[in-house]
Amino acid sequence: MARIGVKNLTIFPITKDDHEGTTYGTAVKLPPLMKVSLNAKTVEGSLYGDDRQVEGNFGITGYDITVDTTDLKPDQIAALLGHKKDSNGGITVNADDEAPYVAVAFESKRSDGDNQYVVLYKVKFSPLNEEFETKGENITYKTPSLAGKAIARESDGAFKYDVVAKTLPEGWYTTPQKAV
């Protein structure tokens, strides 16, 4: 089915991810979502014998994610990119800043009336690219775009979970959901 909308971008800071399990902090709802792009990163292998390919395999190594929102507040930028916010509300970008890993959840309306709910379990975003433009005869909005990489959780190797449903799965925006 075709997708006809996207909304409710929510992140969950990762507080622990090791062989014993993954735990997440409190959900943070981000400003209105404009677009999400997910591109699977894959590897492939081919086995040849008798002058032809006899085997082929593909695997997922992660996802590239790009998120476009209408705005990002300084505290949200600091939380996503590991920058420090001062008492004036300003952000200092430092060479030693380290973006934390977060889970990312959102939903998309489908043309059949259902919704697709998506969570990526472990994402790290790269620094923002910013663009500014003067106001001329027309107003051109410049909005933030975040690029990141989703990798497998240490605890179970999971990258992503999505489900198609008529109604919001219970707890979807409270904690990252997983297959049952």
User: In angstroms, rounded to a whole number, what is the distance separating the alpha carbons of residues 95 and 97?
Assistant: 6
Assess if residue 36 is contained within a domain: yes
State residue 133's pLDDT score: 87
Assess if residue 137 is contained within a domain: yes
Assess if residue 180 is contained within a domain: no
State residue 127's pLDDT score: 87
State residue 111's pLDDT score: 93
Do residues 123 and 65 make contact, with C-beta atoms less than 8 angstroms apart? Answer: yes
95 conformational bin, left if phi > 0, alpha if psi -120 to 50, beta if neither: alpha
Domain enclosing residue 67, as ranges: 7-44+55-165
Q: DSSP state, 19?
A: T
Assess if residue 171 is contained within a domain: no
Assess if residue 127 is contained within a domain: yes
**What does the pLDDT average to over 77-82?**
92
**Residue 6: how many CA atoms within 13 Å on its side-chain side?**
19
**What does the pLDDT average to over 10-31?**
95
**Considering the chain, what is the average pLDDT of its residues?**
93
87 conformational bin, left if phi > 0, alpha if psi -120 to 50, beta if neither: alpha
- What is this structure's pTM? 0.89
Assess if residue 147 is contained within a domain: yes
State residue 72's pLDDT score: 92
87 SS3 class: coil
State residue 179's pLDDT score: 74
State residue 106's pLDDT score: 97
Q: DSSP state, 129?
A: B
Residue count (the chain): 180
Give the tokens for residue 81.
């990119």
State residue 32's pLDDT score: 94
pLDDT at 15 exceeding the cut of 90: yes
Do residues 24 and 13 make contact, with C-beta atoms less than 8 angstroms apart? Answer: yes
Assess if residue 179 is contained within a domain: no
**What does the pLDDT average to over 6-22?**
96
pLDDT at 180 exceeding the cut of 80: no
pLDDT at 21 exceeding the cut of 90: yes
State residue 124's pLDDT score: 97
Q: CA distances (Å), 59 to each of 44, 56, 109, 121, 155, in order?
A: 6, 10, 28, 18, 19
Assess if residue 49 is contained within a domain: no
The CA dihedral of 21, 10, 108, 175, to the nearest 10 degrees, is 30
98-154: per-residue pLDDT in tens?
999 999 999 999 999 999 999 999 999 998 888 888 888 998 899 999 999 999 999
Domain tally, the chain: 1
State residue 128's pLDDT score: 84
State residue 129's pLDDT score: 82
